[in-house]
């Protein structure tokens, strides 16, 4: 059941002041929600990076065993109720970005999924930096990749884009890789 507004008076000054207050509170809520979503997505990026790193290290430990990586992914997928595709993406993400501080805090997990599909590192970094500099959505990033923006861009602009990097993610203590002792 919707609550009804209470009207105090017909004073236009009161109504204008109320509208200003209402707009400011809406703005606070919108900014707060946006900040919360960005924080959650940064944690998601770091979590998938850490998962990918742990799986990659486990695969290396048993690299002589044929099919061990597939065994890991299949079993982890079932035991953790995580789709195999997400685990494979996590490993690919870690291998593409082996140092967490190279990750850009302005990019979401879905941005990184699109970027890890680009094998050529300078090309990937170009799109990564362009996405940050221009605040591209994932849809816009994919559109620019599909339109081959990198190939259409002058070498001078590519180099300029590479120099204009934004701050990277600083991994909280919880996400720093620890070596376990037995």
Whether 142 is covered by a domain: the verdict is yes
Q: Could you say which of 58, 76, 96 is where a domain stops?
A: 96
pLDDT band at residue 9 using 50, 70 and 90 as cut-offs: low
Read off the pLDDT of each residue in 158-168 and give the average, rounded to a whole number. Answer: 72
Q: Are both 88 and 111 inside the same structural domain?
A: no
Residue 88 maps to a domain: yes
CA 179 centroid distance within chain: 26
- For all residues of the chain together, what is the average pLDDT? 87
**Between 182 and 27, residue with greater pLDDT:** 27
Q: Is the pLDDT of residue 76 over 50?
A: yes
Q: Are 55 and 87 in contact (CB under 8 A)?
A: yes
pLDDT the model gives residue 2: 67
Token pair belonging to 119: 């094998």
Are 74 and 41 contained in the same domain? yes
DSSP 8-state secondary structure symbol assigned to residue 168:
B
What pTM, to 2 d.p., does this model score? 0.75
Q: What is the mean pLDDT of residues 34-39?
A: 90
Residue range of the domain that includes 130: 100-173
Q: State yes or no: pLDDT of 182 exceeds 80.
A: no
Boundary-marking domain end, from 96, 115, 130:
96
Whether residues 71 and 58 fall in one domain: yes
Q: What pLDDT is stored for residue 159 in this prediction?
A: 87
Q: What is the pLDDT of residues 128-161, one digit of tens each?
A: 999 999 999 999 999 999 999 999 999 998 888 8
Could you tell me if residue 87 is inside a domain? yes
Residue 8 lies in a domain: no
- Please report the pLDDT score of residue 163 as a whole number: 74
């Amino acid at each position: 059941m919707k609550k009804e507004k209470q009207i105090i008076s017909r004073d236009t000054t009161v109504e204008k002041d109320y509208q200003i207050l209402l707009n400011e509170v809406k703005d606070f809520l919108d900014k707060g929600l946006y900040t919360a979503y960005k924080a959650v997505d940064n944690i998601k990026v770091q979590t998938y990076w850490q998962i990918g790193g742990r799986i990659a290290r486990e695969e290396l430990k048993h690299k002589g065993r044929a099919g061990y990586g597939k065994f890991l992914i299949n079993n982890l997928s079932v035991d953790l109720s995580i789709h195999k595709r997400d685990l494979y993406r996590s490993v690919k993400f870690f291998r593409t970005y082996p140092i967490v501080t190279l990750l850009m805090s302005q990019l979401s997990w879905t941005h990184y999924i699109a970027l890890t599909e680009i094998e050529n590192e300078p090309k990937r970094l170009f799109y990564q930096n362009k996405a940050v500099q221009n605040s591209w959505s994932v849809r816009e990033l994919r559109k620019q990749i599909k339109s081959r923006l990198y190939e259409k861009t002058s070498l001078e602009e590519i180099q300029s884009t590479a120099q204009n990097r934004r701050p990277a993610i600083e991994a909280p203590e919880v996400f720093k890789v620890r070596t376990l002792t037995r």
